[in-house]
């Protein structure tokens, strides 16, 4: 039997370092968190060779008293909590009391600090297997500087996992970005190999904050973002979410903070995805910078050593709150919001004043020039047009059969949908599929009651509607716009009539786990509400007896499995709704005005008025914009015409 020995402090710390010190970026994270916990108003980060050679973090925070210095580098020593109660309501970023000990066991670390009460500063470093603290006098203003050199010099195996200088620096910079987004009131600088890479002044006003976001996330993001600020039962969610027309091919512009801590959380991700579901293509990703504020007692941050995960006491409440807030904000974006922003902007530009941002926190876009900047948010694949049916090629979407149409109308109680005169409008040409064309109001441009999208004056190439407003010219993609209107109406009709359930001729039996079977049993009522009748017929067997009529022909087994796995993971499921909406989307696409369909002026005006009244009308069902504004100022510029 090998004998049991106590590990040396250094080895114990090196083992602990395995969890939190992965690369230079993780060191910067820990050091900046310490600076922020110390109340720093300014944090300067300097690195060399991607942080492998040197990381120096200097702050103007409270500093550490000389007597405490030896403890700062020892493991399980912290000033941030003292009891389990403290841990359960912890508001600081750190609390484990091991970051510095871990880092100093795998690098050459010195910490220099001075408090307000002290005449002079002191420096501490840990030495040897026992990590004894050696303290020497030093010069330093009030605050702390931690210097970390030669990362992993004594742990060659870890060093091998480091990537190129550029990659390491990218990670490090991304980390600074997150921290700078988490504390607007603190100034940050970042220097790499003696070059200033980031210099952010403290941001207090709304405009300053948006500037900071613009320089960290790109001006385009903030130009296309909607301000969110909502509160409910002890929760507050605020921040910026990009309009669906500013979507990304990767989930690389998504920042979610819980009480100032950036986190990755499946529940949050799910809630956000669900909120965008209706306005984004599946393979596109929304962009957002969001802050959730929760009573610290209702969220457990002690889940993982890196603290990137949290556990909510009432996850379902948090999920619903995030979903509802974002869903509403996205649905509320209307042409007149864009329009107001656009007018404010064009006036600003004419007066060439810096321009204040329109009232934040109202869910309105901030200095929104136009929802669409001419750059395709979608990858410019030739499929887009085809998917819209413009090319005259077969639409590469789910086939829509006559029997499905019938099922759909039956599921609505046979009443049909207000926008559709005849079921026969599907899936052929769109004759008769326009909304009832009420004659639009007299086209008097510039009137005091002018509608946000103005009045139609012409149709271009059978694809676009040109409209005139006092601000300039509006161009509408009529198929995209009509598709959204049809879709939203179908959803409304469907919601009002509830989901009709239809018995399956042959029940589908399903082999599941005991857990899933039990779940289906206890959630029978909820499943019924979704139009699903599922019965447990054995310890590990379910029988599906009824399906929503609209989804007849869908993959029953897959649907039920997905619903059950949602229930397990999120305590609820929106699968039926998701699949139903997908189907409605396909129908809406087929049932909407096609290219080369000539509309009369009253029909065009009627479409514009419908857009103004419809939720999410700024994007078609695929997340592409439905309209854009060219301001008079922009037209003037084209013709070098001064005003």
Ligand X SMILES: Nc1ncnc2c1ncn2[C@@H]1O[C@H](COP(=O)(O)OP(=O)(O)OP(=O)(O)O)[C@@H](O)[C@H]1O
CA 346, chain centre distance (Å): 29
Three-state SS at 366: coil
**Which residues pair with residue 196 across a beta bridge?**
191
Q: Does residue 239 interact with ligand X by CB under 6 A?
A: no
CB 17 within 8 A of CB 102: yes
Of 56-64, 196-204, 209-217, 247-255, the window that binds ligand X (rule: CB under 6 A) is 56-64
Cβ atoms of residues 75 and 16 within 8 Å = yes
Taking CB under 5 A as the criterion, the residue among 72, 99, 222, 532 binding Mg ion is 99
32: which 2 tokens? Answer: 């900046």
Contact status: 465 vs ligand X (CB under 6 A) = no
| Cα 408 to Cα 112: distance, rounded to the nearest angstrom | 72
Edge-to-edge strand order for the sheet containing 533-538? 501-511, 541-548, 533-538
31 in contact with Mg ion (CB under 5 A): no
**Residues 6+ positions from 45 with CB-CB distance below 8 Å:** 28, 31, 32, 55, 56, 57, 58, 176, 188, 189, 190, 191
Position 38 contacts ligand X (CB under 6 A): yes
Among 9, 94, 244, 618, binds Mg ion (CB under 5 A): 94
Q: Which residue in 97, 218, 416, 524 binds ligand X (CB under 6 A)?
A: 97
Q: How far is the CB of 126 from ligand X (least distance, A)?
A: 11
How many other C-beta atoms lie within 10 A of the C-beta of residue 501? 19
| Contact flag: residue 59 with ligand X (CB under 6 A) | yes
Residue 149, strand partner residues: 54, 108
Which residue's Cβ has the minimum distance to ligand X?
A: 94
| Binding partner selected for residue 605 from Mg ion, ligand X, none, CB under the kind-specific 5 to 8 Å limit | none
Residue nearest to Mg ion (CB): 94
Which of Mg ion, ligand X, none does 478 bind, CB closer than 5 to 8 A by kind? Answer: none
Binding pattern to ligand X, positions 140-159, x when CB under 6 A? ----x---------------
In this chain, which stretch among 54-62, 153-161, 345-353, 528-536 interacts with ligand X, using CB under 6 A?
54-62
Is there binding between residue 46 and ligand X (CB under 6 A)?
no
Measured from the CB of residue 140, what is the shortest distance to Mg ion in angstroms? 19
Q: Tell me if 30 contacts ligand X by CB under 6 A.
A: yes
Asked whether 198 and 296 are in contact (CB, 8 A), the reply is no
CB 141 within 8 A of CB 60: yes
Minimum CB–partner distance for residue 204 and ligand X (Å): 23
- DSSP, residue by residue, 240-260: EEE-TTS-BSSS-SEEEEETT
Sign of the torsion angle spanned by Cα atoms 325, 331, 333, 334: negative
What are the CA-CA distances from residue 575 to residues 542, 565, 585 (Å)?
18, 10, 15
Closest approach, Cβ 91 to ligand X, in A, equals: 13
Cβ at position 96, least distance to ligand X in Å: 3
Q: Which residue has the tokens 């389990």?
A: 84
In the list 95, 188, 323, 464, the residue contacting ligand X (rule: CB under 6 A) is: 95
- In whole angstroms, give the CA distance from residue 109 to residue 102: 10
> CA-to-CA distance for 352 and 345, rounded, in angstroms?
10
DSSP state of 606: H
Task: Rule CB under 6 A: say whether 64 interacts with ligand X.
Answer: yes
- Contacted entry of Mg ion, ligand X, none for residue 202, CB cut-off 5 to 8 Å set by kind: none
Structure tokens of 317? 């409440």
Q: In the bound complex, what is the minimum distance in angstroms from residue 78's beta carbon to Mg ion?
A: 8
Residue closer to ligand X (CB basis): 38 or 576: 38
Chain positions 98 to 127 lying near ligand X, rule: CB under 6 A, are 98-101
When binding is defined by CB under 5 A, the residue of 26, 34, 144, 502 that contacts Mg ion is 34
Q: How far is the CB of 92 from ligand X (least distance, A)?
A: 7
CA pair distance 132, 126, nearest whole angstrom: 5
User: Is residue 468 within 8 Å of 445, Cβ to Cβ?
Assistant: yes
Q: Which is nearer to Mg ion, 113 or 501 (CB)?
A: 113
Question: Closest CB to ligand X among 72 and 588?
Answer: 72
Q: Which of 79, 189, 198, 509 binds ligand X (CB under 6 A)?
A: 79
Rounded to the nearest whole angstrom, what is the least distance from the CB of residue 72 to ligand X in the complex?
Answer: 4
Binding positions for ligand X, rule: CB under 6 A: 30, 34-35, 38, 59, 61-64, 72, 78-80, 94-101, 144
Binding positions for Mg ion, rule: CB under 5 A: 34, 94, 99
């Amino acid at each position: 039997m090998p004998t049991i020995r106590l590990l040396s402090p250094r080895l114990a710390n090196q083992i602990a370092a395995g969890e939190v010190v992965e690369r230079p970026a993780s060191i910067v994270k820990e050091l900046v968190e310490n600076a922020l916990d110390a109340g720093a108003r300014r944090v300067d980060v300097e690195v060399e060779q991607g942080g492998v050679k040197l990381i120096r973090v200097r702050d103007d925070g409270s500093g550490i008293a000389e007597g405490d210095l030896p403890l700062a580098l020892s493991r399980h020593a912290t000033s941030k909590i003292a009891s389990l109660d403290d841990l359960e309501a912890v508001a600081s970023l750190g609390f484990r009391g091991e970051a510095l000990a871990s880092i100093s066991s795998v690098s050459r670390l010195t910490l220099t600090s001075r408090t307000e009460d002290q005449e002079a500063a002191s420096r501490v470093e840990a030495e040897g297997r026992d990590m004894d603290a050696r303290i020497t006098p030093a010069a330093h203003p009030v605050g702390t500087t931690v210097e970390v050199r030669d990362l992993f010099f004594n742990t060659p195996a870890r060093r091998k996992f480091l990537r190129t200088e550029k990659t390491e620096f990218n990670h490090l910079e991304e980390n600074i970005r997150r921290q700078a987004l988490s504390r607007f009131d603190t100034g940050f600088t970042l220097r790499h190999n003696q070059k200033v890479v980031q210099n952010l002044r403290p941001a207090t006003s709304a405009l300053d904050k948006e500037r900071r976001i613009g320089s960290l996330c790109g001006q385009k993001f903030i130009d296309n973002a909607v301000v969110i600020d909502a509160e409910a039962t002890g929760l507050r969610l605020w921040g910026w979410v990009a309009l669906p027309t500013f979507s990304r091919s990767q989930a690389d512009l998504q920042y979610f903070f819980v009480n100032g801590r950036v986190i990755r959380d499946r529940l949050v991700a799910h809630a956000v995805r669900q909120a965008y579901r209706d306005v984004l293509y599946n393979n596109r990703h929304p962009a957002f910078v969001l802050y959730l504020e929760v009573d610290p007692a209702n969220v457990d941050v002690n889940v993982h050593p890196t603290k990137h995960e949290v556990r909510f006491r009432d996850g379902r409440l948090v999920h619903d709150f995030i979903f509802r807030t974002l869903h509403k904000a996205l649905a509320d974006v209307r042409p007149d919001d864009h329009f107001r922003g656009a007018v404010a902007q064009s006036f600003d530009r004419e007066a060439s004043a810096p321009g204040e941002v329109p009232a934040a926190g109202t869910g309105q876009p901030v200095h929104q020039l136009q929802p669409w900047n001419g750059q395709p948010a979608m990858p410019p694949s030739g499929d887009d047009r085809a998917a819209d049916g413009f090319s005259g090629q077969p639409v590469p979407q789910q086939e829509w059969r006559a029997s499905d149409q019938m099922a759909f109308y039956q599921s609505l109680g046979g009443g049909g949908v207000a926008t559709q005169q005849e079921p026969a409008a599907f899936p052929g040409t769109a004759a008769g599929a326009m909304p009832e064309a009420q004659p639009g109001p007299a086209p008097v441009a510039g009137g005091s009651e002018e509608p946000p999208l103005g009045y139609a004056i012409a149709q271009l190439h059978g694809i676009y509607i040109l409209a005139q407003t006092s601000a300039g010219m509006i161009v509408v993609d009529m198929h995209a716009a009509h598709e959204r209107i049809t879709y939203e109406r179908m959803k409304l009709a469907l919601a009002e009539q509830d989901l009709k359930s239809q018995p399956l001729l042959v029940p589908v039996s399903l082999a599941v786990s005991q857990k899933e079977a039990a779940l289906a049993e206890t959630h029978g009522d909820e499943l019924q509400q979704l139009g699903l009748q599922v019965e447990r017929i054995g310890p590990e067997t379910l029988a599906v007896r009824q399906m929503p009529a609209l989804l007849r022909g869908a993959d029953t087994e897959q649907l039920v499995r997905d619903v059950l796995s949602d229930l397990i993971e999120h305590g609820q499921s929106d699968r039926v709704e998701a699949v139903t909406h997908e189907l409605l989307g396909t129908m809406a696409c087929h049932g909407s005005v096609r290219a080369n369909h000539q509309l009369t002026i009253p029909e065009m005006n009627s479409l514009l008025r419908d857009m103004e009244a419809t939720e999410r009308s700024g994007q078609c069902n695929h997340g592409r914009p439905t309209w854009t504004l060219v301001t008079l100022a922009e037209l003037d510029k084209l013709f070098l015409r001064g005003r």
